[in-house]
Amino acid sequence: MKFVYFLEENIHGENSLAASLKEERYKIRRFEKLPMLESACAQGSPSTLIIYKNIPSIQEDLLALKGRLSRKNKPVPLIIIINEKSDFDVRLAAVYAGGDFFFSSHANHSEVIQCLKQNTDEKHFPHQKVLFIENPERPFEKHRALLLKNNIKVEHLFDYYKLTSSLEEYQPHMLIVDFHLNSFLAVETLRIIRQNPSWKHIRLLCLIDSQEAQLHNVAIDAGADTVLANPVSPSLLLSVVKSKMLRASTDEHTLSELGESQRESGFLSAALNEHSIVSITDIAGRITEVNEKFCQISGYSKEELIGENHRILRSNYHSQHFYQEMWKTIAAGKIWHGTICNKKKSGVLYWVDSTIISLPGRDGKPCKYASIRTDITDLRLSESRFKIGQSYANIGTWDWNIQTNELFWSEQIAPLFGYGDSIPETTYENFLANIHPEDREAVVQAIDQCIHHDKRYDVQHRVIWSDGSIRWVHERGNVMRNADGAPIHMLGVVEDITIQKADQVALIEQEKRLKNAQRIGRIGDWSWDAETGNISMSEESRRIFCVAPNGIPNINDIRAHLHPDDREPMKQATEEALEGDCSAFDFRVIAPNEETHWVQCERQAKIDQAGKVIKLHGTLQDITERKRFEHELLKAKEEAEKANHAKSIFLASMSHELRTPLNAIMGFSQLLEMNSDNNLSPLELENVGEILSASAHLLYLINQILELAKIESGNIELTLEEFNVNEVILECIELTKHSALQNGIKIFWNNKGIEQQTPNESDSSPVVIADRTRLKQVILNLLSNAVKYNCNNGKVSISSSTVVDKNLIVSVSDTGIGLNKDQKSHLFEPFNRLGAETLNKEGTGIGLVICKKIIESMNGDMNVESEPGKGSSFQVQIPVTTASRTKNAPIKIDSNNKSSLLAFNKIRPELDRFTVLCIEDNPVNLRLIEKIFTKLDHVECMCACEPLTGLGLAAINNPDLILLDINLPILDGYETLKRIRDIDAHHNTPVIAISAHAHKASIQKALDAGFHDYITKP
């Protein structure tokens, strides 16, 4: 640390030179009184004294101070005198005061500081060396000691003949020669040194006794720089030595800098020619000189350019006014600087950063113009791309000069802050003006934190555009500081993040909805890192697993809450997942309140390139309520199955119990009607007819009720097959025709709007996939209703057609009483006859209900259109196949069909007579069967009322056909059949089951057991 002391009039006043020296790392002390300054110099030696006082008034005191410091062997500092006046008297006083340098108070501080550095810094004033040639009889010990004290190295020599070797070895900066040793050799020594160019820098100081004054001029002629009269005081010698060495050092430094400047000038010239485009023109603008770079860039040779005007390069990019302003500037002797777009010889445009200066002649007026240009084409392209990139990315940059408060904005900043086309002055205040008032303080604080606390500037805030809309921007930047750490610049970027903010808000809202959805659905997500063991769980997953909301979940927490019976399965499931099996599994969790919750876990695996599972993630769902519901549903299902089974048993029993007596009633009534030998009276025959009619109606009711019960219990059975719909319709028309004729009603076939009694053979007939019997049941029911509820001499129309969506529509229309809106709404309610019971029409109110359910079970639909007094139209819609037939196929009876007793003589054609064995436990039914067969002469009937008797008759009489009741005492029909088959003669004898159980399942069971056929009672 170098100290600089000031002696001035007022130490409390402003001292800008002292401030500048502080910036240069000098330690400053200021004094008003000379004694205080001297005391400070005695304690610590400053490198420089700067005197701001009136010099004539203190010149003697200042000179005395230098003497006292010298006598006390204290280093004498460099003395710089600064005064407002600089006339001859003041400068002479500065010399008398012992000042080393004098400056006017108006001098530039840099000049003073440069002088101080050159004369005090070691790099400018290196450690000096002095060589004494002295007389051993009177050595200069005190002189040498004082020089050493002032940081000057000293060596002494008593023999002139050792001088050359000492000069080579010691290389002194000054040689002090005492002529008293040998005046002749002293003079020759001076000449020897001056003859050697390598020693020319050595300063020569001669000490000559006063009585030898004539040697002064001889010494000067021989090359001495300074001559002092001997004896000389140590202080005077020190002052002269320092003065000469300082001057020599300054000269050397100046020469060194000059040489360096010349080298740098050479380097600069080479660099200029290498990297810059240089040209010189005369006063008229004609090119007189260009460098090689100019030729390379323009594509012209020197010969083509010399003598031409720069207009040869004009690209017409700039206006004429642009060139006029340029010429006006340089003609006035000023420097013009700007960017020019030129055109190469090839026609390609290029951009240069150009500086044009005028070169004055002897009269001071411009005589030539020199132009130095730099090719910035790539830079312009980069800037263009950068601007386009900023525009596309909606990013702008700014640079704020904190010291001058100047603010630079890129082109994109103004639109980002909503200024539009009216761009204001780029100031810090205008920067803050458009920031949302609620965000302004936060932005100011962020800037303050960056400037004063070195915290990076990173802030998101809103800006209000001129149209009132609010946008979000993200600003990032940092501060630049000088060597002292003071902030000088702040640089940053601005990015429009309005869309990102909107996405962020939407994401937050989505996350909120997701959390709510997880909470409502009691479902959460989780992940597990297989390598680190880290577990991540959502809020709902933590709740499900009873993990603290802010805690860090681990595998031990998970296992602690698992049901003991599920811990091993969980471990096994985890191992399977690590092997790639990520199927879902259920387990139980025990809550802190001891309640057990069911949880379902869904998983997925993340696999690395080696195929190893590195992460599992998935969902957890609390399915306790579902498990409870499933349990209750299973229980309800079991109870429903029990009830349904009981219902089936009841239906079977009811069917059997009702059909069995009805079988006898209808059978004996039919026998009475068929028996012409009994000579029944007409009244008796009428009564028999009433019995038969009532029995048939009762059987119909039984069948309808049982049918509805089966459908509602889900026991309806369908046999789907392809068949011709028109065949079924024709059969239904034939079955309904008799009752229609009795009421004077005609049934028409409607073919594409043309009504006819029967379809033509050429009519296209759709093929459907349905249960033939069930569809026939539906159509027959609709035709029967159309006849039943029609008017006398009315009309029934039936049609079939296919539609685009491959469905068949069968429509049955009548001209009957019709239905009102209320009746239509209750049409398909069971047992609701809609008031028809007052019309003296038989019915149950369940026929249409059964029809609709049958059609729906075949993936079809059924609806009605009706108006009171105009009739009704019922439409049945069922799927069709892609095939169709153009001819009505006749209904054929297969001779192998065992379902008909009439085909029996085709089964056994070789028999003229055959024997039938009937095994039946109901005596009434047994007698009925016996009476039926007695009317057939070629049939012999044997009867047994219990199975064991029947087995005996079968073994002894070998019947050709066996009729076997299913519900028998001791042995049922199935066991009896097995025993019949055990008789050698009856392995293949036809056995037909007879039963009041009319369910299809019962029929199929009998056929599967080996019965040839199945006949239902009655």
DSSP 205-258: EEEEEGGGTTHHHHHHHHT-SEEEEES--HHHHHHHHHHHHHHHHHHHHHHHHH
One fold for both 3-120 and 128-260? yes
User: Distance between CA atoms of 759 and 748, rounded to whole angstroms?
Assistant: 9
The continuous run of DSSP H or E covering 520 comes out as: helix 498-521
CA geometry: angle 817, 821, 824, nearest 5 deg? 75
User: What SS3 class is residue 767?
Assistant: strand
pLDDT for 884: 40
| Cβ neighbours of residue 304 closer than 8 Å, sequence gap 6 or more | 345
Selection from 610, 611, 614, 588 nearest residue 600 by Cα: 588
Average pLDDT in the chain? 81
Distances (CA, A) of 690 to 122, 665, 666, 784: 150, 12, 11, 21
Position 126 confidence tier, pLDDT thresholds 50, 70, 90? low
Pick the CATH number of 383-496 from 2.40.160.20, 3.10.270.10, 3.40.50.300, 3.30.450.20: 3.30.450.20
At 944 the pLDDT is: 87
Model confidence pLDDT, tens digit, residues 775-833? 888 998 899 888 888 888 899 999 888 765 678 889 999 998 888 888 888 787 776 66
Kindly tell me if the per-residue pLDDT of 906 is higher than 50. no
- Compute the distance between CA of residue 729 and CA of residue 759 in angstroms, rounded to an integer: 10
CA distances from 293 to 276, 310, 387 (A): 7, 15, 29
- Tell me what percent of the residues of the chain surpass a pLDDT of 70: 85
Residue 680 DSSP label: -
Q: Is the pLDDT of residue 199 over 60?
A: yes
Q: Which CATH architecture has domain 901-1016?
A: 3-Layer(aba) Sandwich (3.40)
Q: Give the pLDDT confidence of 555-609 residue by residue, as tens digits.
A: 777 788 889 998 888 888 888 888 877 888 899 989 888 889 899 888 888 888 8
- In angstroms, the CA 382 to CA 390 distance is 12
Phi and psi at 433, nearest 5°, equal -60, -40
**Dihedral sign (CA 537, 543, 546, 550):** positive
Pairing status of strand 128-133 against strand 78-83? unpaired
- Whether 295 shows a pLDDT value over 90: the answer reads yes
Looking at per-residue pLDDT, the higher value among 966 and 412 belongs to 966
522-622: in CATH 2.40.50.100 = no
pLDDT in tens, 921-936: 888 788 888 878 877 7
CATH 3.40.50.300 holds for 276-375:
no
Rounded-to-integer distance, Cα 872 and Cα 815, Å: 7
938/419 Cα distance (integer angstroms): 119
Is the model more confident about 672 or about 953? 953
Domains in the chain: boundaries: 3-120, 128-260, 276-375, 383-496, 522-622, 626-709, 716-885, 901-1016
Q: 3-120, what's its fold? A: Rossmann fold (3.40.50)
Q: How far is CA 373 from CA 351, 368, 376, 499, 766, in A?
A: 10, 16, 9, 45, 96
CB contact at 8 A, 498 and 436: no
Q: What does R_g of the chain's alpha carbons equal in angstroms?
A: 65
pLDDT of the residue at 898: 36
pLDDT range class, residue 263, cuts 50, 70, 90: low
Q: Which two tokens stand for residue 163?
A: 């001088």
Distance in angstroms (rounded) separating the CA atoms of residues 701 and 694: 10
- Scanning the structure block, which residue is given the tokens 């007793």? 901
174: Cα separation from own chain's centroid: 81
Q: Are 718 and 774 in contact (CB under 8 A)?
A: yes
Tokens of 915: 């024997």
pLDDT, tens only, 748-784: 888 766 777 666 555 566 777 788 888 888 998 899 8
Q: What is the pLDDT of residues 834-852, one digit of tens each?
A: 656 555 566 667 778 888 8
Amino acid, single-letter form, for residue 238: L
Q: How confident is the model at residue 422 (pLDDT cuts 50, 70, 90)?
A: low
In angstroms, the CA 143 to CA 723 distance is 145
CATH, domain range 716-885: 3.30.565.10
Q: Name the band, by pLDDT with cuts 50, 70 and 90, for residue 444.
A: very high
pLDDT at 746 over 60: yes
Query: What confidence score (pLDDT) does residue 676 get?
Result: 54
Is 3.40.50.2300 the CATH number for 128-260?
A: yes
Three-state DSSP at 752 gives coil
Express each pLDDT in 937-951 by its tens digit. 788 888 888 888 888
Q: Looking at residue 298, what is its pLDDT?
A: 92
Residues 6 or more apart whose CB falls under 8 angstroms from that of 418 comprise: 434, 463, 464, 465, 466, 467, 469, 471
Percent of the chain, pLDDT > 90?
14
Residues near 541 by beta carbon (within 8 Å), at least 6 away in sequence: 524, 525, 526, 547, 620
Tell me if the pTM is above 0.75: no
pLDDT score of 882 more than 50: no
d(CA 98, CA 59): 8
Q: What is the pLDDT of residue 812?
A: 92
